[in-house]
Amino acid sequence: MINTDLEVGGGFSPPVEEFRAKISQADCILFASPEYNYSVTPPLKNAIDWASRAPNVWADKAAAIVSAGGGFGGGRAQYHLRQIGVYLDLHFINKPEFFLNAFQQPAKFDGEGNLIDPAVRERLKEVLLALQKFTLRLQGPC
């Protein structure tokens, strides 16, 4: 868990350094998270916090969010993540949004957790294509 007492001489532990390096090298970020008490999960919030320590490695990256869960399909967690993203200087795509009620019938996932619904797979593909397009737009001409 995040503990700034573990930062020694402006550095981080090897696992945190490795995670931060991966974020730094990424062109964009896809968050896939369930909802936990109307918010993001504790492990995701912990990862966000470690990577936001100076220098903030989330800054100026394109991002998208997908979620699956009950009722609203994780939508409240997505909106909370968008609020967190303002401080992080993340740039989320606005459309298309992807919320999935994972428990409605017919089944969206098989017993192994694989997405089996073709229409949902297509919606997910649209999110990924929008993220790619937005990422390229933010990066500007090569």
Give domain limits for the chain. Answer: 4-139
Class of domain 4-139: alpha beta
What's the confidence (pLDDT) of residue 142? 66
Mean pLDDT across 11-16: 91
Query: What's the rounded mean pLDDT across residues 4-11?
Result: 83
Using CA atoms, how far apart are residues 125 and 135, in angstroms rounded to an integer? 15
Quick count: other Cβ atoms within 10 Å of Cβ 101? 14
What pLDDT band is residue 4 in, cutting at 50, 70 and 90?
A: confident
Q: Do 70 and 104 contact (CB within 8 A), yes or no?
A: no
